[in-house]
Amino acid sequence: MRFETINPVSNELVKRFPFHTWRQVQTILKKSETGFDINRTSTLAIRSKRMKALADLLENKKLYCAQMITLEMGKPIKEAIAEIEKCVKTCQYFADNAKFFLADETLTTEYSSSIISYMPLGTILAIMPWNFPFWQVLRFAAPAVMAGNSVLLKPAPNVPQCALLLEELFQQAAFPEGVFQNLFIEHNKVRWVIEDAHVAAVTLTGSDAAGAAVAALAGKNIKKTVLELGGSDPFIVLEDANVKEAARTAVKARMINGGQSCIAAKRFIVMETVFSDFVREYVDGLLQLKMGDPTDSSVDIGPMARQDLADKLEKQVKDSMRMGAEALIGGGKPHATAGAYFNPTLLVKVRPGMPVFDQEVFGPIASVITAKTINEAIELANKTKYGLGASIWTVDAEKAQRLARQIQAGSVFINQMVVSDPRLPFGGVKNSGYGRELAAWGIREFTNVKTIVVK
């Protein structure tokens, strides 16, 4: 795919960018090594000052950054602003807390001194998606740079201007040249970058297929990887849940970013006794959403990020309906509407074996599955190759915590939708990847945990 901005509202080409030549890539790699050498030898206080400057720049240019997100991938402007605000808080968080997360640890042993020290690895290649073009990048880059590393970003081809804006902001924040750079390269050139001696490790947020390919390449070259891949998060509503609150939260949990989120709730597993009430409340919530021009601050759902994504979503829905799923609302693209739009949809009579159950569904499609018992609900929740997040709704907190330990996921939220938070480790299991981002666990992923012993 070319690096180009195509407005998903109209499917019109806005701007196109050339690929970097291999000679340019080699120059970028060398600059990254130089930037790493300067960054790793700078004090944490200096890095913190620069990271706070980056946070201030994001805050001051919040609307401009948000407008770029909306232009390139169609996110409603109010959600795009919220994305930048979250980036600001995350940069501030790591600027304030890196000194604690990276501090030497002293262990009590028979030696006179046993120290654990967290040292940066080097240049980290980041292969990032389009759905949160600022947040996905800074979720990794803020802690990685604070740890002393440098970053090479290979952005998604449809959000090149967001990537260029991020690089510009790092420069304006006075980070050394080469600490944060973009790579506009074809997919088949990624292999060469991973194999290059300048690159120490790789992180990828994307599909499980892409993750498997990158992990294989990195493993062949003995380079560490962190993978944050797809999800098909269960949202479990038990008999004693506050059904109205659960349903209203479920609408937000599914429709955030037009459903284009790895941690969006996707499979709603509802006990039979509360199914009718849940569905009624959910439909009522969907009907209150406004779909339209994402530059309008009153709009809740914009277009899909690309036309091919809307086409794929339509196939998943239609194939599932042919297998017996029923659309209570939505079910297809709006008639006579330009752009990559897809109607918010609620499917019932969903069961394992259908695409909307078995596959990751990246769009405004909610699939409801009924369960007769709690054991069946947990079994359905785990009946997926993914394991990113999950949500449980019940008034019995003790029961919920017990059930949370039975769910195969990286995080479980009780009576709340799943969210990422810089204070909490984020990541998954099974085909949702491995490694963690955010919090102390995230900043240490791309460090050399060095043991220093004195006899």
Catalytic residue among 262, 360, 437, 445: 262
Instruction: Using the CB atoms, write b or e for 124-134: b if 16+ within 10 Å.
Output: bbbbbbbbbbb
Cα 14 to chain centroid distance, Å, stands at 25
Establish how many alpha carbons lie within 13 A of residue 315's alpha carbon, considering only the half-sphere containing its beta carbon: 8
168 residue type, one letter:
E
Structural tokens at position 413: 């939220």
- The active-site residue out of 228, 281, 360, 437 is 228
Q: Around 23, how many Cα atoms within 13 Å sit in the side-chain half-sphere?
A: 0
207 close to 86: Cβ distance less than 8 angstroms: no
Residue 406 to residue 54: CA distance in whole angstroms: 41
Tokens of 258: 């037009």
In terms of DSSP bridges, do strands 265-271 and 433-434 run parallel, antiparallel, or are they unpaired?
A: unpaired
Residue type, 356: V
Phi, psi of 241 (to 5 degrees): -75, 155
Expressed in percent and rounded to 5, the helix, strand and coil fractions of the chain are: 45, 20, 35
Do 351 and 224 meet the contact criterion of CB atoms below 8 Å apart? no
Size of the chain, expressed as the number of residues it contains: 455
β-partners of residue 225 are 202
Question: Is residue 162 annotated as a catalytic residue, yes or no?
Answer: no
The span from the CA of 302 to the CA of 134, in Å, is 18
Q: How many helices (H) and strands (E) does the chain have?
A: 15, 18
Measure Cα distances from 323 to 327, 356, 370 in Å: 12, 11, 17
Alpha-carbon gap, residue 219 to 235, rounded angstroms: 34
Question: How many Cβ atoms are within 10 Å of 18's Cβ, its own excluded?
Answer: 9
Query: Quick check: is 228 catalytic?
Result: yes
Beta bridge partners of residue 17, listed in sequence order: 3
Neighbours of 181 (CB within 10 A): 21
Active site residues per annotation = 228, 262
